[in-house]
Structure 1
């Protein structure tokens, strides 16, 4: 098995080697492999002490395989072929990568967009099994999905207990309610944080149900584990490269998987590194889906691809290598890589906004500018007369060493609903989809600036880069996109709909950013399809 970290930049290699040498002299590699919770200082010790279980998962998670195997056999015997995963952040990102790389279908619900949830509900409900994954057991998005599917199953004459599988931590509120409801419950290791949970039940259960070979995943991870503690171990080299580069100013980590057989790993790495390092005004900003600008603060990490750092390994090993590297980088940066001190703020703001609004309208404010199907909210320069002017101003606001984050609270699959000619080539179909996809805005704006541009789907990013946005360096500029909801979806037992929750989440995060003085503009699409087309057209005119 090819498992290595190599370097395409001699200066990065030299700095990493020197940092690795110093850590080896301090006994850090072996201590980390053995789970020493004191490595990140006294303030972090109590948190680290209950967050290092990921080091042994390639071995301990094998205990789950018989239980998972029986569950898979039952689901297959009942001809349940549509696997839906309701989970956020660490509960969804790893299974999505595992299944995409194994080329097996998995429907991931990490959204509060009613259109996206309705699409999943309409797909083979009679042959659907739903995995409800939540470490805390109280994640509002996942709780909403569970409630919606429970009602849908009952309305269809299906017992939810036959179709819902719950993955959670021991003792969580979800465990008790799931047992009372008669659901199948599989417990994860409580000593593993969400973003380090790829090889726990959170990663393995939905992936196995979808058809991925999770035993091989653990086998590959086990081979990586055998090297932990060595002075030239891949995770140590990767971590010292990232940490030393960031300390010297190269703190924008561009992730390139263009030549890899692994699909989507940058999205998982994005959460791991952003949420682990983005705090106390420092951190490493991972950038997925964007081309390098050869700027002085960039570091390119290639996954089976050329870069300043090159990581070669199968997926199971990649998980462990990047986790170990993140822990190492955290020590070099002087931060606790296991907490997320600012994540709760947007959640609390959402709850407050919903509570204060009651049955009335949410506090969206008055648009500063309206350009066709797009309303613009925020402080704009006097010369901004249309959407192209707004986008130009946003790009000009990015400071030196800063970045732009595009945050879209929309249906990330809506572009695929656009009709295509029956005889169209794959290239033509791809072009049609791209012309209706909000994510295309990342590329359109990235070529108009030498600063990194990131893209996140809301509220998914709140469980990922959201920590970095608020806890990291004060150099981000934020462009949030929301959209009108024409076909909303009730959340049974709650006083809000999905669409109302989605907008409240957007407004809550916007409040958290603005309270910190982060420049932020919100674009609201009064007609989603027309709004996306208009927005992309405006970006081309910048």
Structure 2
């Protein structure tokens, strides 16, 4: 593992790391010192530091997972599907993609995406249902759908579903009573820090990833990251992220041949949900390559984090002295532990509790209220062909009567120095994957960082920062009509109604935080997507 920095990132390291070393932050972190983030955070952090030792404490899972995989293979079960949200899905996704093994990740309420998962090799499928709390509405709905599908196919769901949850959760107790296999995760680890708990290891190991090597990689750097030394990569990365002055609060993550497939999406959730609160935070912006506007232009509020295979290949020291860059190299397990520790460092520098997520629950409550009898009745501001347009969070839309005018009005609210644009698409992310390209279109048009998130997946990630972080974002929400809906077994709502309630609830909470939100509902999805991309370009 190596880390290099220049510009404002290097200055931040010089300014903050000596004090962190003098305070013995690194060694105290790995000794699970709950006082590191202040008195207000002490109770929560005291229950959330188990991740610092998972490279050792998760070892007993290896044999259990290997035995279960062998048993399933003997029954002809060789396809693994994962139902989970946030850290429960993002970590296994990057572990399996990096290892080159197949894992079907279902982290959506979209009825089309759920139906596709249910129809994919059901007779050969084991489903891992992951929920830390045991009550995540998306995961519970997905679980119900798979139970129903297995029963209708004449397959015993207790032989085809593995539950991963915290001990004592409602899902733990009920699943054991019903005869399901249950693997408990470490309750002293928060979801976004859970890559090397059962949440990351069970689905990845069943899919065929070398999870022992992952733990070995983390173990190999643990002493380095716990060392009170100015060369400690975690102290340096955390300072580069959160210690620039003035704060560069956009962290642009670009992969330049690291081999860690999808790592930026995992890091996005970790950093955004951990730091985005109390009016501050670091917004990760995951881009495709160095030609993306945020890297090529490097606005003054941006630090570029390059994931490289060789630190000597990143051009360290060649960037403008007014820029801010850090490059990191390392194996997947090593990088995961590094970024977790660096995020804890960033929380210390920002003066926030990196282990809570106070604004995530607000959107959940709003969605629940709409499902329980208060559906969204907000009339459209206008209809433009296949698109219904709604504007929330103030009177910013003015006299707009077309989609293009509404987009122009939203982007006019953008702070040219500190603002960002968030595009949030509550659609089937597999069928409409190309839509994510509008992120680059928006960034090029505005000259400001832009993010793209699939809903409801991003609610467990950047959704916290959108509401709890700096009030400098403008938000474009995209929803669509469903060609076919799908009932949630045992509930009085459908997946289509669930995802609609989640989108409407998120928009409502953003508006209550005085964030401008443009809601675009596509009554004809293909035609509406064409119209939207034209309006954005």
Shorter-chain TM band: over 0.9
Distance in 2 of aligned mates of 1:258 and 1:385: 43
User: Which residue of 413, 423, 434 corresponds with 1:397?
Assistant: 413
Whether 1:102 aligns to 2:99 is: yes
User: Which residue of 425, 430, 435 corresponds with 1:413?
Assistant: 430
Q: Residue 380 of structure 1 contacts residue 390 of structure 1 at CA under 8 Å; is this kept in 2? A: no
Alignment correspondent of 1:294 = 298
Alignment correspondent of 1:244 = 243
Q: Residue 368 of structure 1 contacts residue 380 of structure 1 at CA under 8 Å; is this kept in 2? A: no
Alignment correspondent of 1:363 = 376
Distance in 2 of aligned mates of 1:18 and 1:212: 40
Partner of 1:94, secondary structure, is helix
Partner of 1:16, secondary structure, is helix
Distance in 2 of aligned mates of 1:385 and 1:193: 45
User: Which residue of 198, 203, 209 corresponds with 2:200?
Assistant: 203
Larger deviation, residues 494-503 vs 291-300: 291-300
Deviations 1:305-363 (A, max 9, x none): 73710110000001000000000010011000001111100110111112123xxxx32
Alignment correspondent of 2:321 = none
| Aligned residue runs from structure 1 range 299-378, under 5 A | 299-304=303-308, 306=314, 308-357=325-374, 362-378=375-391
Q: Residue 398 of structure 2 contacts residue 409 of structure 2 at CA under 8 Å; is this kept in 1? A: no
Deviations 1:96-153 (A, max 9, x none): 0011111111111110000001011111111111000000000000000010000000
Structure 1: 5+ residue runs without aligned partners? 416-433
Alignment correspondent of 1:167 = 164
Distance in 2 of aligned mates of 1:414 and 1:25: 52
Q: Residue 404 of structure 1 contacts residue 453 of structure 1 at CA under 8 Å; is this kept in 2? A: yes
Q: Residue 440 of structure 1 contacts residue 536 of structure 1 at CA under 8 Å; is this kept in 2? A: no
Partner of 1:414, secondary structure, is coil
Deviation at 1:397, TM superposition (A): 1.1
Runs of 4+ in 1 over 6 A off after TM superposition: none
Alignment correspondent of 1:276 = 274
Alignment correspondent of 1:224 = 221
User: Which residue of 116, 119, 123 corresponds with 1:119?
Assistant: 116
Larger deviation, residues 50-59 vs 291-300: 291-300
Alignment correspondent of 2:147 = 150
TM-score, normalized by length of structure 1?
0.92
| Aligned residue runs from structure 1 range 171-186, under 5 A | 171-186=168-183
Larger deviation, residues 129-138 vs 234-243: 234-243
Partner of 1:227, secondary structure, is helix
Deviations 1:354-403 (A, max 9, x none): 2123xxxx324221122221111115544534222222222221113011
TM-score, normalized by length of structure 2?
0.93
**Aligned residue-pair number:** 512
Alignment correspondent of 2:49 = 52
Distance in 2 of aligned mates of 1:530 and 1:77: 47
| Aligned residue runs from structure 1 range 380-459, under 5 A | 381-399=397-415, 400-415=417-432, 437-459=434-456
